Structure formats: structure tokens, C-alpha cells
Structure 1
Amino acid sequence: MTSARVQEAHDVNLGRGADAGSVRGLRVAGEQEQRLAEFRARVRAAGEQWAGARTGGLVELLREAAAGDPELAQLAQLGGQLLEDFVEGLGRKAVTCSPRDLAADLIDGTALPCEVLDQLAPAYAVVLARFPADRRTELAALDLTGRGVLCTRRSGALVLLVPGTEAELLDELTRQLAGDGWVATAKRAVAELADGYAEARDVLRLVVAGRRPAGVYRVVDVLVEYALLGNEAVTARLAEIIRPLRDHPVLWETLVALQEADFSRNEAARSLFIHRSTLDYRLRRIAKVTGHDPSSGRGAQALSAALIADAVV
């Protein structure tokens, strides 16, 4: 086909609006090309000035950019409707498509636009999960698609914000996560999620420091430790109780094993592979060094709190 006939074919196709390829590419020869280029420039200029966050008004905006040209107005009408549909769908998924940044903003207490807040649930459960160094649960393993769950990572912990209405999902997620590590939860209204995150963070820190077994924990599970560590001066004095044990590695290891065994001496002896009498001898030495007898109720309480304080100061 000659170049003249190619030109003629392009002109006919544009006039009929029949060639989807020429419209789709917005590349037409001669005057038509210039006409569309100017239209596209006006659309870009309108886009730069548009401050809307919702889809309404896009069609009208594009029709204005057509500047009275019937063909371009028709193109703007059709394209604008498609664009409105696309942006509306994108907006519905925006919360879950970019949850990491949004979750971080919420737990940091960052002010968010009203149009973003309108898409959120009224309340969320803050879920923090930490795993042993040799085990890692990835987000890909969790079925969060379309469930409204927001997620991020903070200080080595996985952070999930689960809508308050999703009680079954919350149970499912915490059960799955607790199989691999420690999980702390706190529930708050969306405007108070920074406070909820701080609570869950402290619970998780106390659980890990207290060498609790893997599982799901709330603030009611660590009330004593939470109250003790609310005073920095008390925390520092508790840590000082066991500081001398740092010079006695065997005694330190024994006290840690005793705490992990929930102060069951038989279980601690088995975990250390020592005889019960050997353990009792070490406990007497710990009592002499620290001034607190781990075989007594008061002594065990003080030493357990001291170990936690040492881990968090």
C-alpha cells in the first residue's frame, strides 16, 4: 500500500471512529495528530490542577478539556466513565493494596485525610507477633485478601490491624501466629490505635522478657509486670538485684532456666541436665548473692520481676 493510501486510511478510520487501535494509541497523522496532542495536553493540565480525591466530576472535567470538539467530547465521555470506574475500584482496594504505610500512620498517630478515614473500620484489634530467630511467618502465608486487615513491621515485629467486626478472623490469625511465636493484642477505636499499639508493644516486650511460652497475650496476662515497669526508678532497682549474677554465668543460667520452668525446680533440673540436689545448691548460692531466695514465693516473685526488668532496661 502506498504512503498516500496509508494516510487516507488513517483519516477515514478517525472520521468513522471505527479503528480501536488508532483511538487506543492516540496517534494519528497530520492535523488529527496535532488535534489529539493538544487535547492530551489540556487533559494533563486539568489533571495537575485537580484536587479531588473521589471519582465524581472526572467525566465533566475531561469534556471541558475537549473544548467543544464533538469527537473529542465523545472520547472524553467514554474514557472518563471508564476512568471513574477504575478509580472507584482502586479506591475500594486502596486500604488493602497499600496497607503497610497506612498501618504505620495509624499506629504512629499520624493525622489522615477524611476520605481515608471514611474507608476504615470504626475500631481495630492491634496484633503484634514476634518469632524466634530461626522461624519466620511471612505475610504471604496469611490469607488477608479482601479482609480489610492492615499490616506493617515495626522493631522486628509483625503488626496487623484487624477490623473490630472480624472476631473470627482475629481468632484465626492469632492462633496461626501463636503457633510460631509470641502474639500480643489490644483493641482500640481507630482514633486511638497509637495507644493500642503502645499497649500491645509493652505486653509483647514483657512476655518475651519473661520467657513466657509461645501464645497469645493481653495486658491482663502481665498486669503485675506492667505495673512494676510503669515506674522507671523501680525498674532500675529491680534490675540491680540480679546484676551481681552476671559475674556467675552458671548461677545466671540456673535462674533463667528456673524462670522458664515457671519456678518448678524439678522441671528446671531436667532442662539443665543436673540432679535436683545440684539445683538446690545453686539456688542457695543465688539467694546469697542476690539476697532473695528463689525457692520461696516472695523470692521467686522478686527475682522473676528482676529478670524482666534487666531485659527491658
Structure 2
Amino acid sequence: MTLLDDRIERIAIRSELPVVGATEFVEQLLAVVEPEPAVPVASALLDQAACFYGRVLDGKKGVSPSQRAQIRSAGKAFVAAGGCLDVMTSLLSRLASHVMGLMTSRRFDRMGDLLDLAHVLMHEVVAGATELRGSNESSRQLHGRLVERLLLHSEIAPEMAEFLKSEYVVASIRLPRSIPLDWLVAVVEKGRLDGFLCASLDDEAVILVPERSKKNLARLCAEVELRFGVKPWIAVAEPRLFGAVASGYKEVKGVMALVLATGRAPGGFYRLDEFLIEHAVVSDPIVSSRLLSVISPLVDNETLIETLDVLIRNDFSRSDAARDLFVHRSTLDYRIRRIEEITGYSPSTGRGSHVLCMARTVYSISKHTR
């Protein structure tokens, strides 16, 4: 057990609550820290924070001016070691939530002091990191700004352009469960040795991969799965000259929306070629509006919308759909007739199945973009 494990366990004991996975919690916190030299700095900083929480629980004052200076120096040291500030602030937030969660059911009467301490720790770490950034911006942040400028068609400064390769594959990555986006970006940044550039935009990690390094996307997928225990979705656009990556970003955003709307399984690489018809349909606002009007009367009927979803998932095979729904074939036939009565299209015909499938996709995308 590490010193930080012991701090958290003592907090749990003070709260008279059972210790549940203290070591696992600490390992989870530190597992996302990159690069390797930043890990011991992060461990020491979190240990300091846990010690200060323990002082508050013992009725002592939170942080003295000299201790605040120590936390500020630790924040500076973490960024100097190559650590991502967003990752550290996220770790401090999770530690604070963990401590407050332990104390809530005990009705601890100094919860306000714990909250004040959390704010102080966050402020000093950010202040320390900002001091360093003011004189020597980390390459990670420089790369992030470079990606954002490329994707948003902003002008590129000469000192930033020196990092660029001639062609990039544009990719976006998402996970099927909630993971702080900055953690995901930190793992992606490990690929910098391959020339990867990464930034977080619109709730997803966007990656620019040099054309010669695109084979390493599979390695990245495996690394993400290893770190977070889940397979990611990755949408990919074909290589583009660095001046045209904005169009690739628009493409992968559209592909990712279709991946999620059509219920594709995580763990694969998805490209526009797999969604040509769907993409053409959702890109036309008039067609999309008509299809929404077809499916809207059906969505409030949970039984029928589930039946349609299962039919779509089974390529409209009624035998397979009846099996997956655990219903008799005659029950399924009745539901199919009801779907036709409500929408005007029958799932048992070629034309009807195509229209209903597209309508369901358009509706799913509209939900994601509200």
C-alpha cells in the first residue's frame, strides 16, 4: 500500500465507513498520468492533498501559506515533467468527490471547510502550472492549439507550422462510458512519438495522424482499451493535406454521429464509405424532416419502437427478430402491422424497410444533436 492509499484509508476510517477499494481507487487515479516522469510528481501531489483533507477531518486548519506555496510548486513541477494540467485538475476533483462522498452519510459538520480546501488546492495547482506556461508553454498545449487552428481554418503561426507533416489522417475517438475527456486526450498524446497531434473539441478527442503513421491507430485503440477497460469508437477520414484537414474533421464528426445513431459496436474503425446512403439522407434537411414526420408517431410506443430496432438490427429477418424479442412469430406479425398502420410503411417490404431504417437513423441523430 502506498502512502496515498494509507491517507485515503485513514479518511475512510475517520468517517466510520468501510474502506472500499482504496488501493484500486488510487491506481485508477494515477493510471492516466502521462508521461512516466509525471507519475511520481502526481502521486506526491495527491498525497499532500489527502493529508490536508485529513487535517480538516481532525479539526485543524486546512492549508497554511507555506503549504499553499508547496502545492503551487507541485503544480509547476507536474507540468514541467510533461503532465497535462487538465488531467491533474480532474484527479483533484475526483479525490475531493471521494472524500466528500465518504463524509456525507456521517453528516460531517465541516463540509464547507472540505469544499473550501478543494477550491484552494485547485487554485494553487493551476496557478503553479500557469506560471510555468507563461514562460515555457508545454508542447502538448502547443499541439492542441495547432490542431484547433487547423480544424477551425484559423491562420497558423510560423512557429507552429514547423510541427506539421504534409498529409494527415483525421480521426475522432469516443468511449461507450463516461471518461473525462482530458484523460482520453492524455492517453492519445502518448502517440506523439509517431507524430500524432491531438485536441479535445465538441466532447470528443480529435487526432491528426501523419499518413505514414496511420497503421499505429490500431495500436492506439489497443492502448485506450487497456487503460480504460472498454473498446473505443474511432471514426476515420482519408489522408488530407494539412491545409484541408478541416474538411476531414467535418467528415469524421458526421461519421461518428452515424456510428452512434445506428448502434454500431465499439472497437472498430468507421469510415464514410460504410454510411454513404445514411450520410446523403441526413445531409438533406428536407428529406430529414420528412423522415422525422414518418417516425415521430411511433417513438412514444416503447413496444413498437423496440420491435423496429430489433428488426433493423437483424436486417428485417422476422424469424431472428422474434427470437431476440422472445415473442411468438404471430405476435411479431401483429406488431409489424401496427407499425405500418402508424407510419404508412411496412417493415416487411423492401421499400418500407429502407424508409423506416433511414427514419430511425435520422431520429437518433436528431436526439444526439439537441
TM-score, length-normalised on structure 1? 0.64
Match of 2:275 among 194, 210, 222: 222
The separation in 2 between residues aligned to 1:181 and 1:264, in whole angstroms, is 29
2:160 is equivalent to residue 160 of structure 1 = no
Report if aligned partners of 2:221, 2:231 keep a CA contact under 8 Å in 1.
no
The alpha carbon displacement at 1:282 in A equals 0.9
**Residue 149 of structure 2 corresponds to which residue in structure 1?**
105
**Residue 332 of structure 2 corresponds to which residue in structure 1?**
279
The alpha carbon displacement at 1:177 in A equals 5.8
Alignment-mate amino acid for residue 148 of structure 2: A
Which consecutive residues of structure 2, in runs of 5 or more, have no partner in the other structure? 1-135
Q: State the percentage of identical aligned residues.
A: 35
2:264 is equivalent to residue 212 of structure 1 = yes
The separation in 1 between residues aligned to 2:320 and 2:270, in whole angstroms, is 23
Report if aligned partners of 2:147, 2:197 keep a CA contact under 8 Å in 1.
yes
**Distance of aligned partners of 1:296 and 1:124 in 2 relative to their CA distance in 1, 3 Å threshold:** same
The alpha carbon displacement at 1:99 in A equals 2.5
2:242 is equivalent to residue 198 of structure 1 = no
**Distance of aligned partners of 1:231 and 1:145 in 2 relative to their CA distance in 1, 3 Å threshold:** closer
Q: How does 1:14-25 map to 2 (within 5 A)?
A: none
Aligned partner of residue 222 in structure 1, secondary structure: helix
The separation in 2 between residues aligned to 1:217 and 1:132, in whole angstroms, is 15
Report if aligned partners of 1:135, 1:180 keep a CA contact under 8 Å in 2.
no
Q: Deviations over 1:118-162 (max 9, x none)?
A: 321111111112222357783444541422211122222221111
**Distance of aligned partners of 1:177 and 1:223 in 2 relative to their CA distance in 1, 3 Å threshold:** farther
**Residue 182 of structure 1 corresponds to which residue in structure 2?**
233
Report if aligned partners of 1:203, 1:219 keep a CA contact under 8 Å in 2.
yes
Q: Deviations over 1:93-128 (max 9, x none)?
A: 83x453322222221111111232132111111111
Aligned partner of residue 126 in structure 1, secondary structure: strand
Q: Which has the larger radius of gyration?
A: 1
Aligned partner of residue 339 in structure 2, secondary structure: helix
Which consecutive residues of structure 1, in runs of 5 or more, have no partner in the other structure? 1-89
Q: How many residues align?
A: 222
**Residue 146 of structure 1 corresponds to which residue in structure 2?**
193
Runs of 4+ in 1 over 6 A off after TM superposition: none
The separation in 2 between residues aligned to 1:135 and 1:265, in whole angstroms, is 38
**Residue 86 of structure 1 corresponds to which residue in structure 2?**
none
What value does the CA root-mean-square deviation take over the aligned residues? 2.5
The alpha carbon displacement at 1:175 in A equals 6.0
The separation in 1 between residues aligned to 2:343 and 2:198, in whole angstroms, is 44
Q: Deviations over 1:246-301 (max 9, x none)?
A: 23221112112222333333343333332333222211211111111112222111
Alignment-mate amino acid for residue 205 of structure 2: L
Report if aligned partners of 2:191, 2:220 keep a CA contact under 8 Å in 1.
no
The alpha carbon displacement at 1:195 in A equals 0.7
The alpha carbon displacement at 1:237 in A equals 0.4
The separation in 2 between residues aligned to 1:202 and 1:177, in whole angstroms, is 22
Report if aligned partners of 2:224, 2:231 keep a CA contact under 8 Å in 1.
yes
